[in-house]
């Protein structure tokens, strides 16, 4: 397959976006240019963690990528004795995260749906991760998150979301493309990235996400962040 440039030093082919290789090495810089308020979302997650993490708590991030968010959680909750778990399916991402994470974080290279977490968690985070899980497996993902939490535990997840109808979707797509142009992506890079994500990134609507977590068993959920087609949710077991 012919790979085309999607950012400085990153190439991808049609319908075949991957998080391995050079993407892992350049991920942090690329993602902060690509996702609005990406780092501000990290700060929000850390602040909300105050309500769920105490001494002897277990905190898990599913899809920890290069470990940036979980490293911030460790620093934010520095005085508490917390067990941190970072789960990441990509070997190259694990290599990058191991460079910045202390031994306080247990890194697991595997698919969350294929592993068993020994102790139930008080906080689980999925930061723009579930959108890459195949739709046929996504309800299983939310079901397992619910089962893995302690009663009263929190689930924070951020997702790119689809708008409720075509008119709104056209507006949000246009605004997002302007955002990427403002961040110095070329029109060709924007098109190449969009083509590479076909069949790989499958966003659901706000309602679709909320319906899935309700089917999983969550009764209490709300939006904690929203900017165009990017949304953060908090659900409590």
Q: What is the pLDDT of residues 165-203, one digit of tens each?
A: 999 999 999 999 999 999 999 999 999 999 999 999 999
Residue range(s) of every CATH 3.40.50.150 domain in the chain: 38-162+203-236
Angle ∠(7,102,130) on CA atoms, nearest 5: 50
- SS in 3 state form for 45-82? HHHHHCCCCCCCCEEEEECCCCCHHHHHHHHHCCCCCC
What is the pLDDT averaged over residues 147-156? 98
Give pLDDT, residue 102.
79
Query: What mean pLDDT, rounded, does the chain reach?
Result: 96
Cβ distance 235 to 152 under 8 Å? no
Query: Which pLDDT band holds residue 152 (cuts at 50, 70, 90)?
Result: very high
Residue 43 has pLDDT above 80, yes or no: yes
Q: Cα separation of 145 and 224, whole Å?
A: 19
B/e letters for 118-132, b = 16+ CB within 10 Å, e = fewer, are: eeebbbbbbbbbbbb
What is the pLDDT averaged over residues 136-156? 98
CATH code of domain 38-162+203-236: 3.40.50.150
Length of the chain: 237
What is the pLDDT averaged over residues 142-159? 98
- SS in 3 state form for the chain? CCEEEEECCEEEECCCCCCCCHHHHHHHHHHHHHCCCHHHHHHHHHHHHCCCCCCCCEEEEECCCCCHHHHHHHHHCCCCCCEEEEEECCHHHHHHHHHHCCCCEEEEECCHHHCCCCCCEEEEEEECCHHHCCHHHHHHHHHHHHHHEEEEEEEEEEEECECCCHHHHHHHHHHHHHHHHHCCCCHHHHHHHHHHCCCCCCCCEHHHHHHHHHHHCCCEEEEEEEECCEEEEEEEC
Give pLDDT, residue 2.
87
Q: Could you read off the pLDDT of 193-237 as tens digits, one per residue?
A: 999 999 999 999 999 999 999 999 999 999 999 999 999 999 999
Residue 104 has pLDDT above 90, yes or no: no
* pTM tops 0.85: yes
Give pLDDT, residue 57.
98
Residue 103 has pLDDT above 90, yes or no: no
Closest CA to 33 of 206, 150, 190: 190
């Amino acid at each position: 397959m012919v790979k085309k440039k999607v950012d400085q030093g990153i190439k991808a082919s049609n319908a075949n976006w991957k998080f391995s290789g050079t993407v892992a090495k350049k991920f942090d810089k690329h993602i902060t240019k690509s996702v609005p308020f990406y780092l501000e979302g990290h700060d929000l997650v850390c602040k909300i963690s105050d309500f769920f993490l105490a001494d002897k708590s277990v905190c898990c991030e599913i899809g920890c990528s290069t470990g940036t968010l979980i490293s911030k959680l460790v620093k934010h909750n520095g005085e508490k004795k917390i067990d941190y778990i970072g789960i990441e399916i990509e070997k190259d991402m694990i290599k990058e995260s191991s460079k910045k994470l202390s031994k306080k974080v247990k890194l697991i290279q595997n698919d969350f749906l294929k592993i068993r977490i020994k102790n139930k968690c008080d906080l689980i985070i999925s930061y723009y991760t579930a959108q890459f899980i195949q739709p046929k497996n996504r309800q299983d993902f939310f079901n397992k998150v619910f089962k893995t939490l302690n009663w009263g535990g929190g689930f924070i997840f951020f997702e790119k979301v689809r708008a409720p109808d075509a008119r709104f979707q056209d507006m949000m797509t246009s605004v997002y493309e302007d955002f990427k142009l403002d961040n110095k992506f070329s029109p060709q890079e924007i098109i190449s990235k969009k083509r590479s994500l076909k069949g790989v990134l499958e966003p659901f609507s706000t309602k679709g996400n909320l319906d899935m977590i309700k089917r999983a068993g969550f009764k209490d959920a709300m939006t904690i962040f929203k900017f165009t087609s990017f949304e953060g949710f908090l659900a409590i077991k």
